[in-house]
Amino acid sequence: MHLRSIVRHRTVLSTSLRILQSYTPTVANQAHYHQRILPKPITRTSIPIRRYLATNAEQATAESVPRVEKHQFQAETQQLLHIVAKSLYSDKEIFIRELISNANDALEKLRYVQLSAGGEQVGDDKREIYLYVDDINKTITIKDTGIGMTKKEAIDNLGTIARSGSKLFIEELKKDKTNTDDGKIIGQFGVGFYSAFMVSNSVEVVTRSYKKDEPGYRWTSDGSGSYEIETLLDDVERGTSIRCHLRDDCAEFSKEETVKQIVKKYSNFVSAPIYINDVRVNNLRALWMEDAKSIKEDEHTEFYRFVSGQYDKPRYTLQYKIDVPINLRALIYIPQYKPNIFDVTQESDVGVALYSRKVLIQPKANQLLPRWLRFVKGVVDSEDIPLNLSRELLQDSNLIRKIRLLLSQRIIRFLQEQSKKDKAKYQEFYEDYKLFFKEGIVRTADQGEKEDIAKLLRFDSSREEQGNLISLEEYIDRMVPEQKHIYYLAGPSRELCENSPYYEAIRQKGYEVLFVYESHDEVLLMQLAEFDKKKLKSVESELETDTKKDDTILEGDARSLSQDEANQLKQWILKQFGDKIKNVKINTKLDQHPCIITTNEMGAVRHFLKTNLLQRNKQQEIYKVLQLNFDINPKHTLIKKLYTIQKSNNTELANMLCQQLIDNAMVTAGLVEDSRLVLTGLNKLLEKVLEKY
């Protein structure tokens, strides 16, 4: 090696020059020098020296001239290489993931050979991956101490695109029926190596097989249509080293910090230790592959913070694995933090990352979980998930749909189990995350999925103290024998629900009623429609169905109008207000309230009015659109006074009183968004009543 070429590098110290001069010009392979090893190993050298030696070592000696063979890629292979290098991958940084995966496969193959009966033994058991970056010369080198390649294997595996050596290796393993451990081999398609050409002007591979007396080989290509392979006469370490001479626009991949972040993103959990410039970077364990009982709480916290990017702790932890019908490993976390309005409303990605054999495929696997579960964090790993050629996208939509359903059902079942294990803790969690569950029911088209999610819902109940929420399953368990439906009542508060005339009418039957206070809850329950073969019905709709015919008034009841009087009043109301009221009915189930408005699907009517904005200055149009029933209570004082006034021919006062009763019933039913709209009629009625004073 010439001294003057070394001097040109200002970063080389003068003391280092004296060390270099003490060695012979021939440079053989060493582990961290890409392809050569020095006859006398250097114990401590600076990084600039190692960079220089890694990039400027002379390629041959005067003693021996290796034989170089040139091969042409086939025409089809050239076209495919162009596609792989230019179009297959969506992100250039993927090439580091692919080359590390290949290196890890080489290490695993060596392990299998060592464990196999009759397999050839190798001199050492070191299985490591080294990355060396040189931002001066714009190179990155990925080296493993794995199984290596013979000349034929190098030609077959590197000279033929889409021929997966790993896949062939697995097939050979499967022929050995005593060997069932093939799950750590990552490669499938035989194109990962060629991703290096996305970022490289040329790629250089130095390899030596584990087999005894096999020489080393150098394979080089610029990806344009040919490659060269030469036999190395110098001593080469077992394994494979790939050096990428980066293009100018890809020089970022020769920077240590950039490469470190990429390795941690994609390959942090591969089995082998990974070193970048001799510093190990993958220190986290793949917890999802370990026994759940052996993992400590602080380890879960550290791992949760890594996968979620948050700084809180997991509220719930679910570790799940199955082997049939698909191999699947999952580690799911429910965050401790309370989501804000932006977390709920924004169209963010699912927080679960997809791995295959501990290598990151998708950081946000939106296809594996429904959108409503975007609040969960964690990892899903499967050897069987169908990937496209670049191992970035999922294929086989039917299988993905099954996995999605499997995972969501397991999460739902887990949360159900937690709700029974610690009711108070679950109720606190429910208050924080209930909007996600409700979104899931509204967005999901499949009734079975809707009912699965509905198992997580909790409601205030007429039989419980306020705040002591119950599930739909608990409601069904305590239904009275003759009850066929699940009843609910929507209102602004529990107090208004308990004092509602609709609740008053249904309470006489002894039915439990669920109270919902948010306007979207009513839409939610209409979307759900039924649960466990029980229809969900609002008490208003039940009363509309229950009073298709007039109730019979008991003869001799002094507190009530007679049947004839009530019928006469019905006819008068219908005559005077037929443009607003479709029908008038007698309802003896009412007690404290004079009248109510009923209609089919009251909740849907309320939602229609809010979304169509018919309220403002168009009150008359509401009556035209709606098919309203007006139920009167023949025992109530106001109804009896109305009958008396209309019989006395005081038509104006009777009309004003009846109009006010209808308006009041509309307000009670929630069909008047702004109750100030009825104040004008109320004031006129008061003026009329107080005329004599």
578 is in an annotated binding site: no
Say whether both 511 and 646 belong to one domain.
Answer: no
Q: Could you tell me if 564 and 627 lie in one domain?
A: yes
Q: Which of 547, 570, 596 is the last residue of a domain?
A: 547
- The reply to whether 542 and 557 lie within a common domain is no
Q: For residues 16 and 49, is the Cβ–Cβ distance under 8 A?
A: yes
| Same domain membership, residue 195 and residue 113 | yes
Is 263 a member of any domain?
yes
Both 229 and 299 in one domain: the answer is no
Q: What is the CATH number of the domain that holds 498?
A: 3.40.50.11260
Q: Which residue's structure tokens are 């970048």?
A: 276
Q: Is 493 annotated as a binding residue?
A: no
For residues 116 and 230, membership in a common domain is answered with yes
* 350 secondary structure, DSSP code: P
CATH of the domain at 181: 3.30.565.10
Domain-ending residue, one of 367, 401, 420: 420
Cβ neighbours, 10 Å, residue 308: 18
pTM greater than 0.95: no
Instruction: Check whether 223 is labelled as a binding-site residue.
Output: no
User: Number of structural domains, the chain?
Assistant: 4
For 650, the token pair is 């005081």
**Is residue 163 annotated as involved in ligand binding?**
no
Q: Which of 257, 280, 303 is the last residue of a domain?
A: 280
Query: Is 190 annotated as a binding-site member?
Result: yes
Are 177 and 270 in the same domain?
A: yes
Q: Is residue 359 part of a domain?
A: yes
Residue 193 counted as an annotated binding residue: yes
175/269 same-domain check: yes
Q: Is residue 197 part of a domain?
A: yes
% of the chain exceeding 70 in pLDDT: 77
- Same-domain check for residues 384 and 308: yes
Question: What does the pLDDT look like over 433-469, one tens digit per residue?
Answer: 999 999 999 999 899 999 999 999 999 999 999 889 9
| 449 occurs within a structural domain | no
Please choose, from the candidates 335, 340, 327, 336, the residue with its C-alpha nearest in 3D space to the C-alpha of residue 352. 335
Instruction: Place 80 in a pLDDT band, splitting at 50, 70 and 90.
Output: low
Indicate whether 59 belongs to any domain.
Answer: no
Quick one: 557 and 542 in the same domain?
Answer: no
Q: What is the pLDDT of residues 145-160, one digit of tens each?
A: 999 999 999 888 887 7
CATH code: domain of residue 330: 3.30.230.80
Residue 617, domain member (yes or no): yes
| 603 in a known ligand binding site | no
The token duo for 393 is: 């996208």
179 carries a ligand binding annotation: no
The order of strands in the sheet holding 595-598 is 583-586, 629-632, 595-598
**The domain that contains 564 carries what CATH number?**
1.20.120.790
Strands 377-381 and 351-356: parallel
Was 188 annotated as part of a binding site? yes
Instruction: Report the DSSP pairing between strands 226-232 and 216-221.
Output: antiparallel
Does one domain contain both 107 and 246?
yes
Alpha-carbon gap, residue 471 to 457, rounded angstroms: 6
- Residue 222 domain boundaries: 77-280
**Per residue in 531-564, pLDDT tens?**
999 999 988 877 766 655 667 787 777 888 998 9
pLDDT at 392: 53
Query: Does 144 count as an annotated binding residue?
Result: yes
Going by pLDDT thresholds of 50, 70 and 90, the confidence category of residue 502 is confident
One domain for residues 405 and 479: no
Query: Any binding-site annotation on 165?
Result: yes
Asked whether residue 149 is marked as a ligand-binding residue, the answer is yes
Residue 26 lies in a domain: no
- What are the tens digits of pLDDT across the range 505-528? 788 888 999 999 988 898 899 899
